[in-house]
Amino acid sequence: MKQQIYNTALYLRLSRDDELQGESSSITTQRSMLRLYAKEHHLNVIDEYIDDGWSGTNFDRPSFQRMIEDIEAGKINCVVTKDLSRLGRNYIMTGQYTELYFPSHNVRYIAIDDGVDSEKGESEIAPFKNIINEWVARDTSRKVKSAFKTKFAEGAHYGAYAPLGYKKHPDIKGKLLIDDETKWIIEKIFSLAYQGYGSAKITKQLRAEKVPTASWLNFTRYGTFAHIFEGKPESKRYEWTIAHVKAILKSEVYIGNSVHNMQSTVSFKSKKKVRKPESEWFRVENTHEPIIDKEVFYRVQEQIKSRRRQTKEKATPIFAGLVKCADCGWSMRFGTNKANKTPYSYYACSYYGQFGKVDMVSVDLEIVLQVFENLLSNAMRYADTAVSVACRTKGKKLLITVADDGKGFNSNALKIATDPFYTTEKKSEGEHFGLGLNISKVLCQRHGGGITLKNQKNGGASITVCFGMRSQK
């Protein structure tokens, strides 16, 4: 009988948390173990796939994904790891690969230390191992967050790089010192803002004067961010963004304060960041020497707050700052095109606008505003204490969601509340009645969209309207 040839991938992973375990989990130790095992069991090693510094809860690791691509291409039919935790610490995802993906692609999987070898049949202990590995990741995440909270309360700075204008103290961890080589950039930005310049105008001037960005300075000093600048034109070094300027102008680090815990991940499994309420921030004053005088800083903050979002026609778009680009996540700016016989309003990605590529989508603003007013008045009528509004784009659609914390829709209203002449004859509690919803439905449909009604998990009604958008180049 012809012996099966196993074209093998040796997968190695080490995160910062794993480093605490010492040499037993190091990349060097893993490589030696896997190489020896492959030699003893006559496995044909195709390549090593190493993710150094990557968490086991994240399956978007570059080398892991490269290994998956090679499996898809038929180059690999065997995967070997030191143990199950090297493959991952998310028991659902790890189980999906070991119990579904690998078998469906005829890939043999071996976890040496855990005694797992799919060629010998399913391991009854593997699912429990995966659960334990996730528990370890959860517990480690909790301990790390707790440790950082203690450090934040002390006002220390912890990050890969010091903020622009500062440098890390060579001897005292978490201490910031003024960087005499770059503080002038911060002083220039605040000086322009103090004179009344907006973020967009400051950004334009920084580019025109070829002021280096923080990422370029870090590249020249530490060699990081090479992928951003290699093979790119010189102008990339001075490619300031409005968002970067705004972040500097709002940062209290420049008046000597340390502010932490402004955002956090959704969970230990997800790297998505969410902004936390200011009441949960850690703010410690006078932790380092300031670059900007407090009077100047707070004057700039007042100017930022007082600067209204107005068009040249003195109109204030109510969705400004709320509508985000579906491709890159940047804010969409509002504009009006009067060059055509029939003027139209549109939203354009601010990122593309800054970098010379403008992808615009137009909507009939009168229709959108009429629908929005209907939804808002409806929500305010039935809300107990609060009404929330959210806007986003999805492909070529503009979506607006208006929600309240009232009693929500009853089962009958969910079905027919958008029908014409649905009235309040029965006056049942929680029903959102009247012609408003029907009119909104009709207007949305005329605009290539629709309307969706639902109740929120924590109570209250939620209405989402959708509008089709025309592309404008």
Q: Which two tokens stand for residue 289?
A: 């020497």
Q: What is the pLDDT of residues 51-100, one digit of tens each?
A: 988 888 888 889 999 999 999 999 999 999 998 888 887 777 888 888 88
Which tokens is 64 given? 């892991």
**pLDDT reported for residue 127:** 58
Q: How far apart are CA 13 and CA 187, in angstroms?
A: 43
Q: Residue-wise over 243-280: b if at least 16 C-beta within 10 A, else e?
A: ebbbebbebbbbbbbbbbeeeeeeebbeeeeeeeeeee
| pLDDT of amino acid 274 | 65
User: Each residue of 106-143: pLDDT tens digit?
Assistant: 999 998 888 888 888 665 555 555 565 565 556 555 66
Residue showing tokens 């799919």: 118
Dump pLDDT digits (tens) for 424-446: 444 444 444 456 788 888 888 88
Q: Which of 311, 161, 333, 156 is nearest to 243 (CA)?
A: 333
Select the more confidently predicted residue: 248 or 436.
Answer: 248
pTM of the full structure: 0.44
Alpha-carbon dihedral sign for residues 183, 184, 185, 187? positive
Alpha carbon distance 473, 464 (integer Å): 28
- Tokens 């006002």 correspond to what residue? 155
What is the sign of the dihedral through the CA atoms of 160, 165, 169 and 172?
negative
Question: Which tokens belong to 449?
Answer: 């969209």
pLDDT of 282 above 50: yes
3-state class of 8 per DSSP?
strand
The pLDDT of residue 47 is 94
CA distance 168 to 163: 9
pLDDT for 190 equals 93
Query: Residues 6 or more apart from 71 whose CB is under 8 A from it?
Result: 9, 77, 79, 105, 107
Domains and CATH numbers, the chain: 7-138 (3.40.50.1390), 166-305 (3.90.1750.20), 365-472 (3.30.565.10)
b/e 105-143 (16+ beta carbons within 10 angstroms → b): eebbbbbbebebebeeeebeebbebbeebbeebeebbee
Helix (H, G, I), strand (E, B) or coil at 334: strand
Residue 20 has what pLDDT? 46
Q: How far apart are CA 190 and CA 180, in angstroms?
A: 16
The helix-helix angle for 242-250 and 183-194 (nearest 10°) equals 90
Please calculate the CA angle 10-15-16 and round it to the nearest 5 degrees: 150
Average predicted confidence (pLDDT) for the chain: 78
CA distances from 288 to 166, 176, 177, 326 (A): 10, 6, 7, 40
Locate 432 and state its tokens. 């959102």
Read off the pLDDT band of 284 (50, 70, 90). confident
Q: Which has more confidence, 306 or 382?
A: 382
Residue 57's pLDDT is what? 81
Mean pLDDT calculated for residue range 142-169: 72
Residue type, 325: C
